[in-house]
């Protein structure tokens, strides 16, 4: 009986790693072939579509819970400052470099894609890896953000850019984690604000 339970547990553990990586492969392929796929989907970005639809489908199938994804209030006393901290640092850095803050018309698509990436990477992937590694946040953070960084390599980022994305992703992982804000909302806000500051200061 014990052996059966151990075998079952190991299979569950493997599935919690293999299925997310497989779905990440699907999402990455959608980005790589996004231009021809957009023509089939009436200009809807297939990358963003899958980033949101995969976790939603898994929620509806009860394969993951709302709490695992991070759809909860969490700890606002930590989450709000953490969501603002990195974008504020970036803003101050660019401000002292003499750059001006100019909002563009690309803000809404940028927010949508930022939130979508958080739903899939920090909401779904990170939570599944966290379960697989028995709450070892170091392993779940690193694996989540290796996959996150690799997608940006496909997007055309250079090696330094990819390393920077991975490092920033580690911060977003902490913001979402129970040791940080304990909610996807705060990491999504941090990601969106960071990207807005990044494209608006020039």
User: pLDDT tens digits for 58-115?
Assistant: 999 999 999 999 999 999 999 999 999 999 999 999 989 998 888 877 899 999 999 9
Predicted pLDDT at 10: 72
Which whole number is the average pLDDT over 140-150?
98
Q: Is the pLDDT of residue 14 over 90?
A: no
Q: Is the pLDDT of residue 3 over 80?
A: no
pLDDT band for 146, please (50, 70, 90 cuts).
very high
Which one, of 49, 30, 28, lies nearest residue 119 by Cα?
Answer: 49
Domain boundaries, the chain: 2-200
What pTM did the predictor assign?
A: 0.93
Predicted pLDDT at 8: 47
């Amino acid at each position: 009986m014990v052996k059966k339970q151990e075998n079952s547990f190991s299979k569950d553990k493997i599935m919690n790693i293999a299925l997310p990586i497989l779905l990440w492969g699907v999402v990455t392929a959608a980005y790589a072939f996004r231009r021809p796929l957009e023509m089939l989907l009436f200009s809807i970005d297939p990358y963003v579509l899958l980033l949101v639809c995969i976790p939603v489908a898994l929620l509806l199938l009860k394969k993951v819970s709302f709490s695992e994804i991070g759809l909860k209030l969490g700890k606002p006393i930590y989450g709000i400052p953490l969501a603002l901290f990195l974008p504020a640092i970036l803003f101050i850095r660019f401000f002292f470099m003499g750059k001006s803050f100019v909002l563009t018309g690309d803000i809404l698509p940028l927010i949508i894609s930022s939130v979508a990436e958080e739903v899939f990477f920090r909401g779904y992937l990170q939570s599944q890896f966290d379960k697989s590694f028995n709450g070892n946040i170091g392993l779940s953070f690193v694996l989540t953000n290796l996959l996150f960084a690799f997608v940006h390599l496909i997007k055309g980022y250079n090696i330094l850019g990819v390393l920077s994305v991975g490092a920033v992703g580690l911060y977003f992982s902490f913001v979402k984690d129970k040791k940080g804000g304990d909610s996807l909302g705060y990491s999504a806000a941090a990601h969106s604000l960071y990207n807005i500051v990044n494209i608006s200061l020039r």
